[in-house]
Structure 1
């Protein structure tokens, strides 16, 4: 099986969701701050996009498509909510 950029992106979004969920559980100040938790996920996904753009030199086909980005964002949100609910912590999305 050949791993494409889409596979790497979805694995990365899963890792970002778990990492943000673990950070929310470990650091209660993140829960009480005005920074929404989904923004932390978007920062991680933006870092992946910047790295893809830099790696491909802006060539067509070097970026992830928009439907995959939406699916990855949903996957990261679900992973974050799964980690926080498993730990018994209430995570606010807004």
Structure 2
């Protein structure tokens, strides 16, 4: 029997594979769609992951989608995902 997917399981697999920190990647649900969020999701051109529920895809498909979007983001950056995310100044200054 396949293990029931949860956001926690998906995010744990991603943080381990990409050596990300807590908060670097999140999944949010909005109007029935799951979107990549967090610092990584903020950099993706397309944050939509899947419509429906988490079990629409097996874990490997979640990882493939994230990898595809990561490779697209990093195509001309010459850095790992973690290095790229850490190089951004995330402090927002308001006047």
Taking structure 2 as the reference length, what is the TM-score of the superposition?
0.31
Taking structure 1 as the reference length, what is the TM-score of the superposition?
0.32
Kindly indicate whether structure 1 or structure 2 has the higher relative contact order, using CA contacts under 8 Å at least 6 residues apart: 1
Larger proportion of helix: 1
